[in-house]
Structure 1
């Protein structure tokens, strides 16, 4: 008999649709996993970026605190600090240990031209060798009066910063604002590398802190400052070797620090992430160009999405191969059955042997199909173990865990299907398996134990005590009907099964009635077909073979089985069974 289901190359369109849907789910899982990994990596970049920016801002804030403490020191001495006082104060700050990014901490005095002689005399009283330089035409002077560490910065003592625009403009700006500010890019005299740097100023005044611009201009006495080479400042903040990002700093149009060098062994010519951040840095606008390096790429590469895709594709290939094998086996079985049918029409004496060969073929084919099914289950276990070694427990990856659960469920279902097919093929061998007479009450008692229910839930009403004809298959039929009644009952503990056996002479009338949810009349014929099931998504798994086996076992004796039921009214299955032992096979009689 040919199947009415459309086929493509021997594999049904339904099977192909299932494989395509499964493939779509695999690709979807890959894309989702890839998206999640990308989000995690991007978050790591933002964390690294924020950490670098935070270190710069935090360290500059610490330098500002140190400068204001210098202002407090000068104010505490009413502006009369001297070289020894400043050395003692700077020593208490532990400049070299606590502020490694700063070249120096010092004091710049504001001196009007008319007061310069008095200022020079005061410095001479502190010790010889103090000279103010270079000469310029400004109305005021801004000489570096004290500086620490003095041993490495002695050459700049006496340097008049009023001679240079950026230095002078920075002093005048904080004089009027009263706030801490940094200068535009400059080159420090003590920097032999002539790399960009800047000065960090905090102002101090005579007579307390003035509240107006005019008062600040009149009372302005000088600044406490720190000098920085930007390169050394960054090195003091965070080591390049410990960072996964590289950055450059631009002050207006001038690059004052740049790590994007071709000489950097970790430079990434095509960075995974980059960003530009603008910082308002004490009166100046610093623009940071931040990019990831090759270390970031190496540490944030993930093989998880690829493994999911490869594993899914392997499983899809195995499933499709299994379907092809099933299709080929089905074609071979159909061809073989057709040939046997032709032979039976001309040689009826070989019918029994031919049927036995067909059954044996189906049995062997079903048995052989279990091998690739077990192989799929074994491969799924291996892939799952490999993924756990790479990513840890898969309970933390719900999507992957759900996919493997689905694979194992489908493998178990395929095992159940092949087992059911094998049982279905062996129905005709009832005569070889006939045991002695079977006691009906013992059969019911066995069902109670096997199904684990209350004995009162199964009631037997019978005109006979024993079954003598094909008791093996009778037991199979009755157990299957009773088990199904409990399995698909919405409340198994409340299930009530009534078994009735009526003696009608040469046959027995058997009925199994339950109080379950019932079966809609439109499905009464369908439930006995092979692989047909009315299972809903939340109900127990079913192979769709059980009632087909029941029907075949009954029909082998020349009878049929019927169901009487409606939804929510329970169901009653009724069939007839020979009352006496017979070796006649009605199906063979019909063919002959």
Structure 2
């Protein structure tokens, strides 16, 4: 007995193709899982980046609000703010507690050079002698008039910001615009470490804010300002220890803050993600270079795709090993069958014993193959439990759940195959045990109950009322045909099955007709072969053994079974069956 299917090393091309397709699905699942993890990690980076940028923008907005409240204070006093008034106002704001990033909070007055003596006298009358410094050749002066906390920055009082370009141009720019603005990078007078900083200005005018540039220039009275050293500003914004990203800030060509250098233990020389963000920060463009750190890498590593790949490969190895065992068993069975065939041609009297031995061998081989199948199912359960210990319940891990569902479906299918093979090998072993007579009406009633359909869906037309020959296998043949008709019907509730039995003397002609989708003529011979199925993707699983069992049971009595059908027109299966026990074909042994 030779197989028409090509083989490679004992395993059929079909089996190898199935294993390769399954391996491709495993790799595909790994790549998809890896892609999903990468997307999730990238989204976490963007969230951390947006959170960092949002904190900077929000905190600067809060500083702006504080400065405008200072302008409102000055306007409320009609520009006649005194040193004590400013101190009281600054204390009410709780500058150090609410605005920890600001070094100082004060007022810079705009003074024409001719008006300076009168301005100096008024300020000196409020407290310590007031003197503007350093000297410069501008037509106007911009001395720091009030500052808080004053006790820490006494030397800054009187400092004339008109002497320095960045400070002066920042004041003149907001004078004309009337909007809040920051200066370019500067080094604060009180900062001995020469750390990059900037001033944050909001303007105030005599008689309230004018609506035109000319009016603003004519009525400009000064600015409320805050001085910032950038590292202290960032420290006030957000703690390094609470961030998974590091960043630097560049204003023009000058880096005013940098977390990418130094001795930071969490610095990642090869960050997983990085991005550059440009912020329009009150008249200046701040460029933020944001990168992930080691904490981000540690918290966003995932072994899930690797576990999926390893688990899939282990299962592929087990499945391939199982196929090899099946192929070896099949070769041994075929070799044994060929040897028995040679012997039986010489000694026909040993035919029944030889057939029984072959059937027992196939039965035992199929039974033994169920052990590794159960092992695969057990391994799938163990891997799923291990994953749950690592990641917790897998209800939200749809990819992993789908993989385990597929594994269990394949295990169930392998169990169905081995059961089918065992049943196929035992055709004919029940005749001695089966009752000699089977009423047909009782048979149909049993089918209705077992399948769970309406009695009117199965109609019986018979010229005999009982089956007296091999009733067990007759029941199995008819039941298989009826079950298939319902199983593959597009609408089982609308299925109609007609069973017709004609008495032709020594044999019965039996036909089972349904109103299903039918079978294309090119597949009529193929459907009776072992492991052949015409199942489509959305239809129920099939082992491809059912009709092979039907064919073997019919051929055991020296007859055959055929099908008449075309697509969309239903199918009619027809076979013959002995009418009495003595009618078995004398050539049955040779056919079997």
Residue 266 of structure 1 aligns to a residue whose secondary structure is coil
What CA deviation, in whole Å up to 9, does each residue of 1:198-239 have, x standing for no partner? 111222223443444444333332221111111111111111
> Conserved in 1, the CA contact under 8 Å of 2:556 and 2:591?
no
1:425 is displaced (CA, Å) by 0.5
Distance in 2, matches of 1:164 and 1:72, equals 27
CA deviations over 1:130-157 (Å, ceiling 9, x no partner): 3333344443332221111222222312
In 2, distance between residues paired with 1:48 and 1:566?
64
Say if 2:323 is the partner of 1:323: yes
Contact kept? 1:457, 1:495, Cα under 8 Å = yes
* Residue matched to 1:412: 412
- Structure-2 separation of matches of 1:564 and 1:197: 92
Contact 2:506 2:579 in 1 (8 A): yes
Q: CA offset at residue 586 of structure 1? A: 4.4
Q: CA deviation at 1:583?
A: 10
The C-alpha deviation readout for 1:169-191, integer Å capped at 9, x for no partner, is: 32233333333222222222333
CA contact (8 A) 1:556 1:585 kept: no
TM-score, with normalisation over the residues of structure 1? 0.93
Gaps in structure 2 of 5+ consecutive residues? none
The 8 Å contact of residues 438 and 467 in structure 1, kept in 2 or not, is answered as: yes
The 5-angstrom pairing of residues 260-279 of structure 1 reads 260-279=260-279
User: How far apart in 2 are the matches of 1:534 and 1:128?
Assistant: 102
Contact 1:186 1:196 in 2 (8 A): yes
In structure 2, distance between residues paired with 1:365 and 1:212: 99
Partners of 1:287 and 1:514 lie apart in 2 by 76
> Unpaired segments of 5 or more residues in structure 1?
none
Please give the alpha-carbon distance, in whole angstroms, between the structure 1 residues aligned to 2:210 and 2:591: 120
Change (3 A) 1:94 1:466: same
CA distance in 1, matches of 2:453, 2:271: 67
Match of 2:130 in 1: 130
Structure 1 Cα separation of the partners of residues 177 and 499 of structure 2:
102
Task: Write the mapping of 1:72-83 to structure 2, written as runs, cut at 5 A.
Answer: 72-83=72-83
Distance 1:63 1:485 in 2: 79
Alignment of 1:337-416 (within 5 A): 337-391=337-391, 394=394, 396-416=396-416
- CA contact under 8 A between 2:558 and 2:588: conserved in structure 1? no
Kept in 2: contact 1:461–1:501 (CA 8 A): yes
User: Residues 25-64 of structure 1: matches in 2 within 5 Å?
Assistant: 25-64=25-64
How far apart, CA to CA, are the structure 1 residues paired with 2:159 and 2:589?
125
Pair 1:159–1:590, CA change in 2 (3 A): closer
Alignment of 1:83-482 (within 5 A): 83-391=83-391, 394=394, 396-482=396-482
Deviations 1:422-452 (A, max 9, x none): 1111113244434343333322221121112
Distance 1:515 1:172 in 2: 93
Q: CA offsets per residue over residues 324-361 of structure 1, 9 Å max, x none?
A: 11111111211222222232233434332222211111
- Partner SS state of residue 356, structure 1: helix
Instruction: Classify 1:143/1:534 alpha carbon distance in 2 versus 1 (closer, same or farther; 3 Å).
Output: closer
- TM-score, with length taken from structure 2: 0.93
Write the distance in 1 (CA, Å) between the matches of 2:572 and 2:200. Answer: 96
Query: Would the alpha carbon gap of residues 186 and 356 (structure 1) be closer, same or farther in structure 2, given more than 3 Å must change?
Result: same
Q: Residue 383 of structure 1: CA displacement?
A: 3.0
- After superposition, the CA RMSD in angstroms is 2.5
Q: Which runs of 4+ in 1 moved over 6 A?
A: none
Q: Measured at CA, do residues 516 and 188 of structure 1 come closer, stay the same or move farther in structure 2, by a change above 3 Å?
A: closer
Question: Aligned to 1:499, what secondary structure does the other structure show?
Answer: strand
Residue pair 2:555, 2:591 contacting (<8 A) in 1 also: no
CA distance in 1, matches of 2:516, 2:206: 100
Question: Bigger shift: 395-404 or 233-242?
Answer: 395-404
Q: CA deviation at 1:559?
A: 2.2
Bigger drift between 227-236 and 405-414 goes to 405-414
**Is the contact between residue 431 and residue 583 of structure 1 (CA under 8 Å) also seen in structure 2?**
no
Distance 2:520 2:591 in 1: 34
How far off is 1:292 after superposition? 0.8
In the aligned structure 2, how far is the partner of 1:537 from the partner of 1:217?
A: 80
